[in-house]
Structure 1
Amino acid sequence: MFSMSMDLSGLIPSLLVTLIIVAYGDRHGRKASLFLPSLGGFVTSSFYFSISYFSWPLYIFFFSSVIAGFLGGFATFLGGCFSYAADISHSAKQKTIRIALIDMILGVSSGLAGIVSGYFIEKFGFFWSYGTASALHFVNMMYIIFFLQETVHVSESQANPFSTEGFREVFSGVFLLFRNASIKKRALISLMLFGFMSYLFGQYGSSSLFTLYELDSPLCWDAVLIGWGSALSTFIFVTSFLGLFLFTKWMQDHYIVFIGLLSWTTGMLMAAFAQTTLLMFLVRLPLVLAFMPFPILRSMMSKVVLDTEQGALFACIACLESLTGTVSGVVFSSVYAATVMWLPGFCFLLAAGLVLIPFTLVCIIMYIGYGEEGRHVLLVNEGEPEDADLVS
């Protein structure tokens, strides 16, 4: 409850700042959406460093969480990374691969950090653990300031973000993304966002219960088995990236999404009825391609919008991802508590059933049509009113 309260204290300001800062990058550069969350991480880890050394009271954790939230948090950093990848990509395939690569790096690094951190804390203690984290954040900030190249050219008219026009651009980026779009474009973005959120809801929620399920009877795993299970789950990010890298050579996006959905559904059905250690380990086998839909859906949405709308789009995605991840954890934990006595694997069956939502939505998107040809038509249609005004 303490951890959940601390996360929620930084969530609300983080969502607001993400919508502003990442959309701000479409006109004034991407570095702000990468630097500010890194600064927030540095401040937070420095607070933890001080708390562990000086034995400060626990309420300071909330103070550091709020500060990190107002500096954007992980949602802003995530939106900035995906926007940057979209900026430097010169083709739709390259964009898909780079977005998938970011997903893989995030998944593998977080998994490895979770495995290594316990040994690091045991050997060096919390003091040096948070000191190391602070040093890494500082190095990251220096790299962003002095070595990372900006991808958005800022003209003199856009150089001052504190002007009236600058404030209007910053606060209205996501709103204008939908207001200026054609009906077809709005429908496509909305369908993709809802499909992305529904799949994320089921996957985040059920994945958070794996450890509880493995600790419970009849599996009764110890720390060693749980560690190996987490390592195998981390490896899924690598296999999903390799699968996506191969499939993009021969398949269209929606078929890759279907393969990922099938992979996840099969794994969840196996997990729901896993009664032995061997079968629980084998659950990871059908899940090897389960993370493919996330980068594909991000790439599909990115292909629909203008180059000057990438930040607004990924700001919207990052906010919804943070919100969905938090809500799904609470919902699935409550469902697990209510069903664990009569069917411990019910949450996995629920996650498998929720796949019907993104599957149906992707089928509708296939029928509507999207992609480079569809995107060209959308842009032409959206440019007609402006051309008419110029003629008049």
Structure 2
Amino acid sequence: MKGEKPVLRRIEWGIREREREREREREREREREREREREREREREREREREREREGGRERGREGQRNRKVLVNVSAHTTKLLLLQPARSVCLCYFTNTLSPLCLFQPARSVYSCYFNNTLSAAMGTHTTLWAVCRKVETLVVLQQLGGALFDTALQVVVKERSNSTDGGVNSTSTVDDRQRAMSDFFMTYNLLGKLTPIVPAIILAKLSDRGWRKAPIIAPLLGYMASRLVLLLVVVLGWPIQVMWVGVSLHGFSGGFSAIWAGVMTVVSLGSTEQRRSGVMMRVELLYGLAGLLGSLVSGHLFQLYGSTLGQGTVLVGVSLLLYGLCLLHAVSLLQVSVDGSGQEQTTPLIRKNRKEEEDKGEDEGEEAAAGGEARSNRINIGLLFVGGVLYDVAVAGAMEILVSFQMKEPLNWNAKQVGYGNASGFLIFLTSFLGVMVMSRFMIDSSLIIVGMLSFASGIYFMAFVTKTYQFYLARSLMLFALIPTPTIRSMLSQQVTGSSYGIVLTSFQLSFKVASLVYTPTYTKIYQHTLDWLPGFVFLLSSSISVLATIPIRFVESTPILITKLPRPNLVLPDSRT
């Protein structure tokens, strides 16, 4: 028995040694696999570099072709100016006598050639630059938002005047509270129609865009915009009931609405820019949108007070808005260029790094599967928390902003057209302050902290808004909302970090649709609460929004800002026009 124990120990030692050897062999195999993967990655990088070089060659070829076209145009214009006479001989005959005394020892011919070529090059360069700017989507965005800012002020003031009239309108009543209830009921129906009718048309237009009809999501909504503006013009000129505007907003919605046109604009921007420049181009488009809204709101109140012959106030303002949308439609049909950059094609790089052993070797051990499962569960929890926080914040912001339109029109504020325009301009100013805030704070704050700062900024401003009795107090409350546009786009960015590339569109579309579903609840709820609190505290709904906004920060605090397997995406363009602050 004593002799058997050493033998057993040697056998056990041999078994353990063979097991360790097999483990070392598996480790060496994994290392070889990692080395092969690194080699494949280097090969893909070399292929991408060769593709960039080929694209650079194609771009240089296109630039040379454009230069040749410019030279052909210059030759044609020169020939016409010289009445079909040989340009060279005429120039030599004329400019030799004119320029020879000034040229000293230089031949007159060479001096003229330099001067003439430089002048023509500068003129043609300026002409080409202006033409290129006119064909860009930024021009369309500016025209569209200028017209939209004018329309918003016109609609708000027209509804107020009709509610105060004694011959019909929204609901002719004798008390201020009754007029406020009539206005809030009108805007409740108007907003619900504007939010629900575009859902299906926007999806159809998006599919058409994916099939190559890139201008369809832009042109179709512009037709709806023109129809709704034309309806308002007829309401002002012919004295139709203001409820006719429900037909106008329905036409606008069934053509795709704002969600369709903005998606189309972003598609054109993405196709016409490289990956390196895309973020900057999108930021530029969004800043131009905010600046155009700011300018349009500032001048809208003054335009409203202008009279159109015998047609009364508001005719000029609505007419200018309709004209701007007509120019916008003409630009989209005839001038807008949808260019496809070589590196601007859609890519399907996954945002979650899939485990390569899972794809290539089905024999992944249980420890790795457990780790991957834990990470997937963490991502699902993050998505749920972000959805809850985003929807709560949208309820707080959108509900308050819908009531703010009626709140501005009652005592003690009782704004006129100019003041309405200035108030709308203060809302567009938040586009700029939020953008600057992100540029500064993102250097030392994580995304979840940025979201909380934006939510608390809105909560403080809307809380102060509940007790506003003077116009200057309104602007003080607005000044507290400087960062109110940060949360929603940042939440979208964080959502994109939790899913694969194939699920990116589904998740973000679901996130946006959740706002539409929530509006079915908060729009009538806020309206009825406002109507029932007019007698004792008209700003009670703003206190409610402040509380909901603070409540929305709770799920955001528990979101993991940097999941283990998620690649870090570039910081998003945070000044988004679909925000309702």
Q: In the aligned structure 1, how far is the partner of 2:395 from the partner of 2:221?
A: 26
Q: Given the alignment of the two structures, is residue 264 of structure 1 paired with residue 448 of structure 2, yes or no?
A: no
**Correspondence for 1:134 among 317, 326, 329:** 326
Single out whichever of 297-306 and 74-83 deviates more from structure 2: 74-83
Single out whichever of 244-253 and 217-226 deviates more from structure 2: 217-226
Single out whichever of 245-254 and 309-318 deviates more from structure 2: 309-318
Q: In the aligned structure 2, how far is the partner of 1:292 from the partner of 1:284?
A: 15
Q: For residue 213 of structure 1, what is the aligned residue in structure 2? A: 407
Single out whichever of 11-20 and 238-247 deviates more from structure 2: 11-20
Cα 1:345–1:141 change in 2 (3 A) is: same
Single out whichever of 316-325 and 233-242 deviates more from structure 2: 316-325
- Secondary structure, counterpart of 2:558 in structure 1: helix
Q: In the aligned structure 2, how far is the partner of 1:99 from the partner of 1:321?
A: 23
Q: Given the alignment of the two structures, is residue 375 of structure 1 paired with residue 566 of structure 2, yes or no?
A: yes
Say which structure is richer in helix: 1
Single out whichever of 212-221 and 229-238 deviates more from structure 2: 212-221
Give the CA deviation at 1:116: 3.7
Give the CA deviation at 1:120: 4.5
Q: For residue 248 of structure 1, what is the aligned residue in structure 2? A: 442
Give the CA deviation at 1:291: 1.4
Residue type at the aligned position of 1:77: I
Residue type at the aligned position of 1:267: G
Residue type at the aligned position of 2:384: S
Give the TM-score taking structure 2 as reference length: 0.50
Give the CA deviation at 1:182: 4.5
Q: In the aligned structure 2, how far is the partner of 1:282 from the partner of 1:56?
A: 37
Give the CA deviation at 1:196: 1.5
Higher RCO, Cα 8 Å, sep 6+: 1
Residue type at the aligned position of 2:461: G
Structure 2: 5+ residue runs without aligned partners?
1-184, 309-315, 349-374, 569-581
Q: In the aligned structure 2, how far is the partner of 1:312 from the partner of 1:138?
A: 33
Alpha-carbon contact 1:19-1:315 (below 8 Å) kept: no
Q: For residue 176 of structure 1, what is the aligned residue in structure 2? A: none
Within 5 Å, which residues of 2 pair with 1:1-392? 5=189, 8-9=192-193, 11-19=195-203, 21-22=205-206, 28=211, 32=214, 35-46=216-227, 48-49=229-230, 52=233, 65-66=249-250, 68-80=252-264, 105-117=288-300, 119-120=302-303, 122=306, 125=316, 126-127=318-319, 129-142=321-334, 146-149=337-340, 151-153=344-346, 182-324=376-518, 328-366=522-560, 369-370=561-562, 373-376=564-567
Alpha-carbon contact 1:45-1:133 (below 8 Å) kept: yes
Cα 1:83–1:350 change in 2 (3 A) is: farther
Q: For residue 46 of structure 2, what is the aligned residue in structure 1? A: none
- Secondary structure, counterpart of 1:355 in structure 2: helix
Give the CA deviation at 1:137: 2.6
Give the CA deviation at 1:183: 4.2
Q: In the aligned structure 1, how far is the partner of 2:295 from the partner of 2:521?
A: 25
Q: In the aligned structure 2, how far is the partner of 1:239 from the partner of 1:5?
A: 32
Structure 1: 5+ residue runs without aligned partners?
156-180, 378-392
Alpha-carbon contact 1:39-1:137 (below 8 Å) kept: no
Cα 1:374–1:16 change in 2 (3 A) is: farther
Residue type at the aligned position of 1:76: A
Alpha-carbon contact 1:258-1:359 (below 8 Å) kept: yes
Alpha-carbon contact 1:100-1:296 (below 8 Å) kept: no
Q: In the aligned structure 1, how far is the partner of 2:263 from the partner of 2:289?
A: 13
Cα 1:46–1:222 change in 2 (3 A) is: closer
Give the CA deviation at 1:56: 12
Residue type at the aligned position of 2:466: A
Cα 1:51–1:248 change in 2 (3 A) is: closer
Q: In the aligned structure 1, how far is the partner of 2:390 from the partner of 2:524?
A: 19
- Secondary structure, counterpart of 1:230 in structure 2: helix
Give the CA deviation at 1:67: 5.3
Q: In the aligned structure 1, how far is the partner of 2:282 from the partner of 2:390?
A: 14
Spell out, residue by residue over 1:129-180, the C-alpha distance to the aligned partner (whole angstroms, 9 max, x if none): 3233122133135455x3343744599xxxxxxxxxxxxxxxxxxxxxxxxx
Give the CA deviation at 1:341: 1.2
Spell out, residue by residue over 1:233-258, the C-alpha distance to the aligned partner (whole angstroms, 9 max, x if none): 32122111110111122221111111
Give the CA deviation at 1:110: 4.0
Q: In the aligned structure 2, how far is the partner of 1:199 from the partner of 1:103?
A: 21
Q: In the aligned structure 2, how far is the partner of 1:191 from the partner of 1:307?
A: 20
- Secondary structure, counterpart of 1:289 in structure 2: coil
Q: In the aligned structure 2, how far is the partner of 1:353 from the partner of 1:16?
A: 33
Spell out, residue by residue over 1:93-119, the C-alpha distance to the aligned partner (whole angstroms, 9 max, x if none): x86x87776665545544544444454
Residue type at the aligned position of 1:206: A
Single out whichever of 209-218 and 77-86 deviates more from structure 2: 77-86
Residue type at the aligned position of 1:75: S
Cα 1:355–1:105 change in 2 (3 A) is: farther
Q: In the aligned structure 1, how far is the partner of 2:458 from the partner of 2:322?
A: 35
- Secondary structure, counterpart of 2:535 in structure 1: coil
Give the TM-score taking structure 1 as reference length: 0.70
Alpha-carbon contact 1:23-1:311 (below 8 Å) kept: no
